[in-house]
Chains A and B, each alone.
Chain A
Amino acid sequence: MVEVSELHRHFGPLKAVNGVSFRFDAGQVFGFIGPNGAGKTTTMRILATIDVPTHGAATIDGLSVVNDADRVRRLIGFMPDNFATYANVNCWEYVDFYARAYGLRGQARRSAVHRVMSFTELDGLGEKPIDSLSKGMKQRLCLARALVHDPKVLILDEPAAGLDPRARIELRELIKLLASEGKAILISSHILTELAEMCDVVGIIELGRIVATGAVNAIRPSNRVMSVLEIRVLGDAERVERYLREQAGVSEVQVTDRDLTLHYPADERAQAELLERMVAARLPVVAFRSRQENLEDVFMAVTKGKVQ
């Protein structure tokens, strides 16, 4: 459905997008993760036909976003990272305006407006001025606007930014529902736990390049299979840290007071042997727990926090 291949976008010497490739299909939610300035928004703007690539290809439903922009625009619904609303307009007028702008006429327009207002649970707020809405409600309204022409693909740039927990959960449920209806959804967010819960596939981008991509529960940098070990010790954590750093397979050791976290191969036998060696070395281990790497761990492992 959405395919991006070796996409580049340069602004003078700045390579905002530098060879990004990924793909996802109808019914899937693709999470786009990366620090600020990594190239997420630029990639999304190219897919939304607002910007053009320096080179590379991007297609939606087989249509090029460069050559077939007009037809691509009928297929996409775009929510930018700002609300992009108007003063002196109420909710119904706002959605109705975009329905007209997408060429919907008569009964088709009225039905489309009613459908999206009802889907986003805004049907009781049609007469309410946009200025008086909460952030969560505004975000729902923008989602309604993006859905009014029934697009196949949704491109959502930081839709959860600034929302309270309830609004975030409600938005997540709406997105899951849209995916279940067969829409392909590209979503960027800084809130990784949110993405982990709603995405089927994620791509991590840094310095304009995709550094890891794959299904949420399988994404690993360089195909590694790692666990996160959480260890609590008595007394001198620094001595334990020194010991652990010398052990083969141990990486990314972090110390917080008496707690240590580290990345270690997911093989349980190897983990048991490490614990055995620590006890033999008379290190005061109080607790030793292994868990799967989550999206946040992978993100921290594959990105270096560099900004262009």
Chain B
Amino acid sequence: MFFLNQIWLIPLLPAFGAAIMFFFGRKLQKSAVNAICVGAVVVAFLWAVGCVWQYTQWADANNHQPFQKIIYTWLGSDTGHLVYRTHTGTAEFKADAGFLLDPLSSIWLLFVTGVGMLIHIYSTGYMAHEGGYYRFFGYLNLFMFSMLTLILGNNYVMMFVGWEGVGLCSYLLIGFYFLRHSASTAANKAFIVNRIGDAGFLLGMMTISWYFGSFRYTDVIEMARSGHFAIGDPVITAATLLLFVGACGKSAQVPLYVWLPDAMEGPTPVSALIHAATMVTAGVYMVARSNALFILAPTSMKTVAIVGAITAIFAASIGLVQNDIKRVLAYSTVSQLGYMFLALGVGAFAAGVFHVFTHAFFKALLFLGAGSVIHAMSGEQDMRNMGDLHARIPKTHWTMFIATLAIAGIPPFAGFFSKDEILWQSWLSQGFAYHLLWIIGYGTALMTAFYMFRLMYLTFHGRPRMSHEVEHHIHESPSSMTVPLIILAFCSITAGWLGLPHSLGGSNRFEKFLEPVFSTEAKVMRAEEPGQVAAGKKEEEHTNPTEYTLMFLSVAAALAGWGMAWRAYRHADKGYTEPIAAAAPPVYATLLNKYYVDEAYDYAFTGRRKVGDVRLGALGAGEASSWFDSHVIDGTVNGAGWTTRAVATLSTWWDKWIIDGLLVNGPAILARIMSYPTRLLQWGLVQWYALVMVAGLIGFVAYYAYK
């Protein structure tokens, strides 16, 4: 178990790469940067393959338990001192630095390191002429470290560390061209919106630790599956909803998706890695990992499904009319993530994970291909200025074509199997609401096909609409860029075959592989609706015809979307018209302006735009507190000063007129006034004084003589 026991090396190697870039990157040659950073990820990938290989052997011998390796206790203690109250008693606060490998994290591990490796190689070509080469790879490696920590952690705290780390790297990489105002604003937006989700995640995590007394997945899942908690338990519902808020932020669901389209300001490999294949799937991973908890909270599951479906169709509708090639792909990512959450919400966890897996390949391929197009077009990203590139950059064209077929859901490419599985599972769930979700998913599939083929035709076909200098410089990308494209195209074709459903004669290896993680849940959930148990068993038998019908309908939708795009954009020349704009201009304007959601947020939440004269939102709160400070607080201070001075004036008056005037000078004046008559007695004549004396004497004598 050599690889498994050193599983901690997998996140550590990119961390070293990032550290070396941090300390010495400035002085290194490009070749050294490549060797260290790309090499780290390649070795991590190979190690990951080794780990998964050894895990499969280990699991067979160990009853399919997850493999845990705990390095040390990171937070908290083992000694019994950090005890906190849980709802049933007390528990020890402990979060280990530990790693867990089970089928779920194996899948994530393989595609994160695999696609990450390909993107690192691609970036050596793409970023070759950009400044800050070492910085880029340092951030990319830091991202790989964070993402791998997220996936491989054995408890929610490790996941949160990775969660925050990928958010940070997203910020750093989106704002890579930090001298551009739009890029730094977009980076801020990503981080701040993510942070709102993080608040939810943190609260959910703490609720779980309070309710279950532990952070570790194994403890929580064991307790959840033990039957001790009732279905619909309010605390678990609250915790899972809070966790889902975190997932909405990280995985760009409505209403926290607004950062993802703006995140296209970053270099294209960043968009491919972070905002297509890996970071945005962290939310899906989190929900899948907590499936035992979500099963206990049907309300949360319904919320997840509804939010996923709404996001899918909402984002797809916006993607129909966007003109920037990367924006179309960004909205496509948001939409596909909606599909994944729809799958998780209806209980089809394996289908959701399968879609994550296939989506990673074809979406990364689409983004890298777009990067190749942009590279060929000397930086042009607007599809209105492209056209007729298919013969000039054939490798890019054919690989992107394969990816487009995959995402549109055309068999036998990867997207078909995963998307179809999701739609099928959604249809299977009892209740009209789930059929409504199927309809939403179906509409989204139609739109997906349309906008993806629109992208293909506008970019690669039609008449050339670019300027002449750009046209002269069009060239195929170097092999460092095209080889990853080809590898990803191969995966986009074949990855779907891993999940070939029974109805088409396959054995659905993918779902079988994930059984230890999800199967108990499926049974528990299906057991809730008793009719479902029977339906679940029979699904492989009598509902097959419906499955074929639905499959046929999905393929029909994909082909219909392709056909509509072919008709509208095949011969797109300068000044081509958008069919939606021609048919319904107000609809077109609304979609082009993204339903004005960003503007609404500016009015309500950030306060970057005023409502009349008032500013709401965060900036409004800032303005309000500034007003409060300058008017109320300073007013109080000034008032206190004024009061002091008024009192001082009063005091002065009192002192001057009453104390000094009345009490001090008064007796003096009185004495003076009394002196006027009194001094009249002083004649200065001695004989008069003598006379008075004698008179007095006679008076005394007479008094005593005649007493």
Decide whether A and B are members of one complex: no
Identify the A interface with B (CB < 8 A). none
